Amino acid sequence: MPEFRLRRVQMTQSLSLPDAIRGLNDSLELLVQLGTENWWYSYPQVDATIIVNTTQLIWIPMESYRIESIAIRASTGTASATPRINGVAMGVTGGTPIAVTNAVTRYDVTSANIVTALDSVDVVVTGLVASNLCLSLGVRRVG
């Protein structure tokens, strides 16, 4: 969500047209800069909780994104997880499937990580016994 900051333009008796235009340009520049930072540099997050061994659909994006990381944890015990885009395993550092334990572990996703609008992002979970699994995807919008 972009952050908007309001700057009031102060009127003085000696305000000239060039001063008013300069103040307006400064405010417009700040607004565009904040919107640009949100669009290009923000990190939306996609979260999912899975309670059974399954192939779980976790996200259908409405824009193009690059999945940069996955953080994953099982509440107890261990499991295996394979994150996929349209049925193709993502290139997770360390390989897939990911070994999931009760410690939160963050993995970088370095290849097969671009999703376009209406792609399906899912995760195949196996070996999950008497616990649940939580994961979070770190994504960045691409132009």
Residue 9's pLDDT is what? 62
| Same domain flag for 94 and 52 | yes
Sign of CA dihedral 100, 101, 102, 104: negative
- Report the domain count for the chain: 2
| Same domain flag for 38 and 50 | no
| Same domain flag for 9 and 68 | no
Whole-prediction pTM value?
0.70
Q: Could you list the residue range(s) of the whole structural domain that residue 73 is in? A: 45-141
Helix, strand or coil, per DSSP, at residue 100 = strand
- Say which residue, 33 or 59, is predicted with more confidence: 59
| Same domain flag for 78 and 118 | yes
- Say which residue, 100 or 27, is predicted with more confidence: 100
Cα separation values, 124 from 13, 54, 84, 88, Å: 68, 6, 8, 11
